[in-house]
Amino acid sequence: MSLHKVTLHVPPKTKLSGRLDVLMMVSGFLLAVFVGMHMLFVGTVILSPRLMDALAWFFEELYLVQIGGPLILLVMVGHFILGARKMPFRQKEFIAFRTHTGMMRHTDTTLWLVQVATAIIVLIMASIHIYVMLDTLPITATKSAVRIQYGNWLPFYVVLLAAVAVHIIIGLYRLGVKLAVITRKNRPKARKLLLYVLAATAVVSLLTHLRLSLMTV
């Protein structure tokens, strides 16, 4: 199939589309901040399961979990819908996009394709995670340990955390490029810094799940 016969879906550039792009960037940044705070919260189990339980109790007493969970899910779905405007869902669009990506060998374009794939994974798996959390309140370190040790949830969380981390790191990189914070001059340093953040995230996640795996339940 020749490429000139394929019409890619390119949203028209209007004031509305520009505002939707801004809304997508803001919602994405807020979700990235939330994920960082959530990882720090769960990571407190490394120091002490009692500390995690105390923080969970505090959040639930203020209804931050009961209200925040559905709210985060709503923002996440909205962010996905905003991003889906530019995703190549149709077969012809995807084939053309993949072909062009292979021909250009453009790193940023490839990263966007990875971000699209991880977005779909995150939307599905994070929705399941939020539902399970809200359905089994209150949150405790012991419940988390039981899910890891006896509930066969470890592979699920490994895939989810990997997809979330990769999606957010690429998202922050692309946001920096759009806002001209990351320029052609400092791009290599920015990529290296974000890789360090990704590595730190992986270490914290590994230690958290190792602690939960070794807890006495």
Q: Determine, yes or no, domain membership for 4.
A: no
Q: Determine, yes or no, domain membership for 165.
A: yes
Q: Determine, yes or no, domain membership for 7.
A: no
The answer to whether the beta carbons of residues 119 and 163 sit under 8 Å apart is no
Instruction: Determine what percent of the chain is predicted with pLDDT higher than 90.
Output: 64
Residue 91 confidence (pLDDT): 60
For position 154, which CATH number holds? 1.20.1300.10
Residue numbers of the domain that contains 94 = 14-214
Q: Which residue has the tokens 């339980």?
A: 53
Q: Which residue has the tokens 């939020």?
A: 130
- Residue 106 is assigned to a ligand binding site: no
Is the predicted pLDDT of residue 214 greater than 80, yes or no? yes
- Range in 17-21, 51-55, 143-147 with the lowest mean pLDDT: 17-21
Q: Determine, yes or no, domain membership for 6.
A: no
- Residue 4 is assigned to a ligand binding site: no
Is the predicted pLDDT of residue 4 greater than 60, yes or no? no
Q: Determine, yes or no, domain membership for 5.
A: no
Task: Check residue 138 and report its DSSP letter.
Answer: S
Token digits of residue 201:
């995230």
Residue 129 confidence (pLDDT): 94
- Range in 64-73, 91-100, 117-126, 151-160 with the lowest mean pLDDT: 91-100
Q: Which residue has the tokens 């021909």?
A: 103
- Residue 129 is assigned to a ligand binding site: yes
pLDDT digits (tens, 9 = 90+) for 75-124: 999 999 998 877 765 666 566 666 655 665 656 677 888 888 899 999 99
Q: Determine, yes or no, domain membership for 202.
A: yes
Q: Determine, yes or no, domain membership for 164.
A: yes
Q: Determine, yes or no, domain membership for 130.
A: yes
The answer to whether the beta carbons of residues 149 and 61 sit under 8 Å apart is no
CA dihedral 163, 165, 166, 168 (to 10 degrees): 110
- Residue 9 is assigned to a ligand binding site: no
Q: Which residue has the tokens 């996640």?
A: 205
pLDDT digits (tens, 9 = 90+) for 24-62: 999 999 999 999 999 999 999 999 999 999 999 999 999
| Residues 9, 171: Cα–Cα separation, whole Å | 21
Given phi > 0 = left and psi -120 to 50 = alpha, else beta, which region is 113? Answer: alpha
Cis ω before 138 (30° cut-off from 0): yes
| Residues 99, 92: Cα–Cα separation, whole Å | 10
Number of domain units in the chain? 1
Residue 11 confidence (pLDDT): 53
| Residues 84, 77: Cα–Cα separation, whole Å | 10
Q: Which residue has the tokens 């809304």?
A: 23
